[in-house]
Amino acid sequence: MYSGLLIILVPLILGYLIPVKNRRLLHTVDRLLSAMVYVILFIMGVSLAFLDNLSANLLMIFKYTAVFFVCIFAVNLIALWLLERRKPWKTQFRQEKLPSRLGMALDSLRLCGVVVGGFLLGLTQWHWLTYASEASEAALIFLLVIVGIQLGNSSLTLRQIILNRRGMMVATVVGATSLGGGLLAALLLGLPLKTGLAMASGYGWYSLSGIVLTDAFGPVIGSAAFFNDLARELCAIMLIPTLVRSSRSSALGLCGATSMDFTLPVLQRSGGLDMVPAAVVHGFVLSLVAPVLMAVFSS
C-alpha cells in the first residue's frame, strides 16, 4: 500500500522543494512538462496494444469511459448548480470575443492521436516494446518532479489559497462530488469501489490519471481514466462560454484541475479577470490532491 503512495509523493515533494528563480528556466520546465505528457501518453498506447483479447478490451474501455464520464460530469453539474443557487457569484463583466473553441478542442484531440500512434506501434509486438511498463514508471516519476517544481514556484501562498473562498468552495464541491460520481459508476459497472474512487480522482488531469491507473490496474482502467478526463476537458471548453452566463461556479468547476492552465484563457475571456484568482486556486488545489488520492485509492 505505502510503496505506491511513496512513488507518487516523494517525487512530488522533492520537486516542490526545488526553488527556481530564473524565469527562462521555469519556461523550460513548462515545455518539458508538455513534452513528458506526450511521451507518457505514447507509452500508454504501446501498453494498450499488448492486451490479451484486444477487441473485447477496447469495447470495455469505451464502456467504462462512457459510464464514468456521465456519472461524474452529471453529479458535478448538479452540485455546482445548487452551489450557484445558494451562493450566487455576481459580476459586472461582459463577455469578450473568444478564441476558436474548435481549435482548442482539436488541440486536445491531438493527444488522442499520440495514444493511437503508440497503440499502432505496439501492434508490431517488437521485443523492446515489452519494457513499456518500466519506462512508464520512470516517466511518471520524472513528470511528478516537474509538476512539483511548477506547484512550488507558482507564486501562490497558502494564505492566498485559503483567502480565495470561491476557488476553495468550488474545488471542495468538485472534489467531493467527483468521488460520489465515481462510486456510482463503480456500482453500475460492478467494479470495486476503490477502483471507482481512483478513476474519479483524476479531476481532468488525463496525463497523470492515465499513467498512474495503468500502473495500478492495467491498461484497460488506465485508458478509460485518460479518455474520461480528456472528455471532461473537451466538454468544459465547449460549455464554459454558455455556462458562465448563468452559473459561473459550474463553468469553473467543470474544468477540474485544468482551470489553472489549459482552460484558464477560456475562463478569463468568458468570465472576466475576477475569475482568474478563483480558477488558479481551484486548479492548484485539485492538482495537489489528485496524485495523493489516486495513490491512496490505487494502493
Q: How far is CA 167 from CA 42, 94, 142, 150, 294, in A?
A: 33, 21, 29, 19, 22
The three-class DSSP label of residue 159 is helix
The three-state DSSP-derived secondary structure of 101-166 is HHHHHHHHHHHHHHHHHHHHHHCCCCHHHHHHHHHHHHHHHHHHHHHHHHHHCCCCCHHHHHHCHH
How confident is the model over 164-193, as a mean pLDDT? 94
The reported pLDDT for the residue numbered 1 is 39
Most confidently modeled of 45-59, 131-145, 219-233? 219-233
Please give the residue range of the domain that contains residue 104: 2-88+99-298
Q: Is residue 181 part of a domain?
A: yes
Q: Is residue 187 part of a domain?
A: yes
The count of structural domains within the chain is: 1
pTM of the shown model: 0.74
The reported pLDDT for the residue numbered 182 is 97
The reported pLDDT for the residue numbered 103 is 63
The reported pLDDT for the residue numbered 157 is 61
The reported pLDDT for the residue numbered 201 is 94
Q: How far is CA 171 from CA 63, 104, 242, 282, in A?
A: 28, 24, 20, 5
Band of the pLDDT at 2, cuts 50, 70, 90? very low
The reported pLDDT for the residue numbered 49 is 77
How confident is the model over 65-92, as a mean pLDDT? 91
Q: Is residue 156 part of a domain?
A: yes
Task: Provide, rounded to the nearest whole percent, the portion of the chain with pLDDT above 70.
Answer: 84
Provide the CB-side half-sphere exposure for 114 (13 A, CA): 23
Q: 206 pLDDT exceeds 60?
A: yes
Q: How far is CA 257 from CA 22, 27, 118, 121, in A?
A: 25, 20, 25, 31
Q: Is residue 108 part of a domain?
A: yes
Q: Is residue 93 part of a domain?
A: no
Q: Is residue 94 part of a domain?
A: no
Closest CA to 65 of 208, 277, 224, 271: 224
DSSP 186-246: HHHHT--HHHHHHHHTTTT-HHHHHHHHHHHH-HHHHHHHHHHHHHHHHHHHHHHHHHHHH
Q: Is residue 185 part of a domain?
A: yes
Q: Is residue 110 part of a domain?
A: yes
Q: Looking at per-residue confidence, does 270 or 186 come out higher?
A: 186
Please answer whether residues 207 and 41 qualify as being in contact, where contact means their C-beta atoms are separated by less than 8 angstroms. yes
